């Protein structure tokens, strides 16, 4: 009898311990355990009721960055002048083509675009309620400033830029660390380091790839050149990424189709095979010693040109603006100085082109990395390139100017017939499919009332990381060809409707997700519908939509299931899967 009593006491103790452990886990998992915050019910109620006053959560428009460089490079008057110049160039361009322009989109639509382009997901209900505390005219600028100083922006853009610089392949493990490269790039964006300095670090990188992350720009090519930096791949990558020129075809023969024109501005000529290999010769100055990593040395490049009988020694040289390259210094330092020279506007044009493509989801011209020297670019691209050079290659400033311009803020709808010409020439905001990681990020964010960032619990951060990686792998990663506009496949639609991420995101969970919180804390059906719309597609429902879903909720015998169905419908809508 005594043993039974002891056994019962032991069971009771372990049961209470398990309950306490479960409660503690739920508290941490909810992401509400950091600092002195209100209770769960108070916190959730404040997100559903926009009349509740909240404390600002990030740097606002009236609290600019305290970094002196930020203040110097993002002066209000200077930025306003740059935005006005961009708007004027756009209007002039549209008038020359006799094209109309759409009206300005509403603030929620613009803020959703900002979130998608800068952090890879839509807004959280928390962010929307915080922005609604301020006058409508301030909300876009506040949200932009919040995002530019948000760790999610640094991480997301570092991944996008890493794809562009070294690709998506993990490569060989011994001499290549893509993850370290991405983390290093995240730190550079966090500090708002001038992009021309980042380029210089990449071109002139020295040391071991484990100690100096930028060295992985070189070691990413080791697999194709017997454990040494591959000058061919590096020349092709440099011309496309840093110069916005596709000269890959010159590797094997001279240009005889008129596709690649090089030389100086006043003396354009057809590209030659020598142009490519003279550029490649610079990278043979990167000597490999597995004990010391990459070290600088003299260039020693030999190549057998087409129709030649034997190899010849190739001296390093650049394909245009030869007057800008220094005569002294090691090969890679000379190349870096030439690429980042203020008069080499091609580098700034290439930078603007890529930033624009990430923000809009499509390039401003036909291709993000093919900006021929002899063809006029879009006038906006040239204006932004000049501003970028004058302001020290400040990426935050560039992003601010682009996102505050009319081209970014106009609606994708209009009261006139919209043609492809309107989209191509910035008469309306282009409809662009979200990238796989943007789809995944938006699904995960819509299932949380609060935004998921580095202040969230480790459980939520791990769930987001693994969930996005798995979803992207199954959805289909476009790799480096990230701006190819492909159609939606049946497999992708099935994954959206029936996939693991979707199921876990909409199933009611009182601790973790929006469906559970809506059922527990929303005052009435209208509040449920409004909050669901704001959490998923970041807009308020129309009166007809409220009526439709109110009837469905009131007729349902299980309110929790009806809320899950509502979240499923909105998350699978076309409106959710497109930037518009």
Query: Which of 22-31, 232-241, 247-256, 499-508 is predicted with the least confidence, judged by mean pLDDT?
Result: 22-31
In angstroms, rounded to a whole number, what is the distance separating the alpha carbons of residues 229 and 302? 15
The tens digit of pLDDT for each residue in 452-475 reads: 766 665 556 666 666 666 767 666
In angstroms, rounded to a whole number, what is the distance separating the alpha carbons of residues 359 and 524? 37
Measured from the Cβ of residue 249, the count of other Cβ atoms closer than 10 Å reads 17
Assess if residue 366 is contained within a domain: no
In angstroms, rounded to a whole number, what is the distance separating the alpha carbons of residues 173 and 514? 40
Instruction: Report the half-sphere exposure of 569 (CA within 13 A, side-chain side).
Output: 13
Measured from the Cβ of residue 193, the count of other Cβ atoms closer than 10 Å reads 17
Same domain? For 20 and 108 the reply is: no
Same domain? For 413 and 461 the reply is: yes
The tens digit of pLDDT for each residue in 75-98 reads: 455 999 999 999 999 999 999 999
Same domain? For 134 and 77 the reply is: yes
Average pLDDT over residues 263-280: 82
What angle separates helix 525-536 from helix 559-571, to the nearest 10 degrees? 30
Assess if residue 374 is contained within a domain: no
Same domain? For 418 and 562 the reply is: yes
Same domain? For 17 and 56 the reply is: no
Q: Where in the sequence is the domain holding 11, given as residue range(s)? A: 1-30
Question: Which DSSP string corresponds to 15-49?
Answer: HHHHHHHHHHHHHHHTT--SSS---HHHHHHHHH-
Same domain? For 2 and 111 the reply is: no
pLDDT value of position 388: 97
pLDDT value of position 455: 64
Same domain? For 26 and 56 the reply is: no
Residue that finishes a domain, picked among 345, 372, 394: 345
- Percent of the chain past pLDDT 90, that is, above it, reads 50
Assess if residue 383 is contained within a domain: no
Assess if residue 162 is contained within a domain: no
Same domain? For 304 and 210 the reply is: yes
| Bigger pLDDT: 68 vs 212 | 212
Most confident of 169-183, 245-259, 316-330, 447-461: 316-330
Same domain? For 77 and 207 the reply is: no
Assess if residue 578 is contained within a domain: yes
pTM: 0.86
Assess if residue 369 is contained within a domain: no
- Total structural domains within the chain: 3
pLDDT value of position 99: 95
Assess if residue 314 is contained within a domain: yes
Average pLDDT over residues 376-396: 93
Same domain? For 305 and 416 the reply is: no
Average pLDDT over residues 114-129: 95
Same domain? For 542 and 516 the reply is: yes
Same domain? For 54 and 20 the reply is: no
Assess if residue 386 is contained within a domain: no
281 close to 301: Cβ distance less than 8 angstroms = yes
Radius of gyration of the chain (CA): 27
Choose among 209, 151, 206, 136: nearest CA to 179.
Answer: 209
Mean pLDDT over each residue of the chain, to the nearest integer: 83
């Amino acid at each position: 009898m005594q043993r039974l009593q002891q056994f019962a006491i032991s069971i009771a103790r372990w049961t209470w311990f398990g309950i306490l452990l479960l409660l503690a886990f739920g508290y941490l998992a909810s992401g509400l355990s950091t600092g002195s915050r209100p209770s769960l019910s108070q916190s959730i109620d404040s997100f559903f009721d926009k009349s509740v006053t909240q404390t600002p959560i990030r740097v606002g428009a009236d609290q600019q960055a305290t970094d002196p460089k930020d203040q110097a490079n993002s002066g209000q008057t200077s930025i306003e002048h740059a935005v006005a110049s961009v708007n004027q160039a756009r209007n002039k361009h549209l008038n020359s083509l006799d094209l109309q322009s759409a009206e300005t989109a509403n603030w929620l639509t613009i803020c959703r675009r900002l979130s998608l382009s800068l952090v890879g997901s839509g807004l959280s209900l928390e962010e929307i309620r915080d922005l609604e505390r301020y006058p409508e005219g301030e909300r876009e600028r506040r949200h932009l400033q919040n995002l530019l100083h948000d760790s999610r922006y640094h991480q997301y853009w570092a991944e996008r830029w890493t794809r562009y610089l070294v690709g998506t392949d993990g490569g060989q493990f011994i001499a290549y660390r893509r993850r370290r490269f991405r983390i290093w790039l995240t730190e550079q964006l966090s500090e708002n380091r001038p992009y021309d300095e980042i380029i210089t670090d990449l071109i002139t990188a020295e040391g071991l790839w484990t100690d100096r992350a930028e060295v992985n720009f070189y070691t990413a090519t080791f697999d194709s050149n017997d454990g040494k930096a591959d000058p061919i791949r590096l020349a092709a990558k440099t011309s496309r990424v840093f110069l916005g020129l596709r000269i890959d075809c010159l590797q094997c023969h001279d240009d005889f189709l008129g596709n690649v024109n090089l030389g100086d501005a006043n003396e354009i000529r057809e590209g030659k095979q020598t142009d490519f290999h003279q550029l490649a010769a610079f990278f043979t100055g990167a000597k490999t010693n597995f004990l010391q990593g990459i070290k600088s040395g003299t260039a020693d490049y030999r190549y057998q040109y087409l129709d030649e009988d034997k190899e010849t020694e190739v001296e390093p040289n650049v394909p245009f603006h030869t007057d800008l390259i220094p005569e002294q210094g090691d090969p890679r330092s000379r190349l870096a100085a030439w690429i980042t020279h203020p008069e080499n506007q091609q580098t700034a044009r290439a930078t603007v082109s890529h930033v624009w493509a990430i923000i809009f989801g499509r390039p401003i011209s036909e291709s993000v990395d093919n900006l021929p020297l002899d063809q006029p670019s879009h006038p906006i691209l040239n204006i932004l390139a000049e501003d970028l050079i004058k302001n020290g290659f400040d990426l935050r400033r560039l992003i601010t100017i682009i996102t505050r311009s009319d081209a970014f803020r106009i609606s994708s709808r209009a009261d006139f017939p919209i043609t492809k010409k309107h989209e191509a020439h910035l008469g309306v905001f282009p409809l662009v499919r979200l990238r796989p990681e943007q789809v995944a990020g938006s699904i995960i964010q819509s299932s949380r009332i609060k935004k998921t960032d580095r202040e969230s619990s480790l459980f939520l951060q791990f769930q987001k990381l693994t969930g996005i990686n798995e979803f992207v792998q199954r959805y289909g990663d476009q790799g480096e060809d990230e701006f190819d506009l492909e159609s939606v496949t049946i497999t992708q639609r099935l994954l959206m409707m029936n996939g693991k991420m979707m199921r876990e995101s909409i199933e009611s969970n009182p601790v973790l997700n929006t469906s559970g919180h809506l059922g527990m804390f929303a005052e009435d059906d209208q509040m449920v519908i409004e909050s669901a719309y704001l959490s998923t597609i970041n807009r308020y429902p129309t009166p007809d939509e409220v009526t439709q879903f109110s009837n469905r909720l009131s007729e349902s015998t299980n309110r929790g299931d009806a809320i899950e169905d509502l979240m499923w419908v909105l998350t699978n809508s076309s409106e959710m899967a497109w930037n518009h």
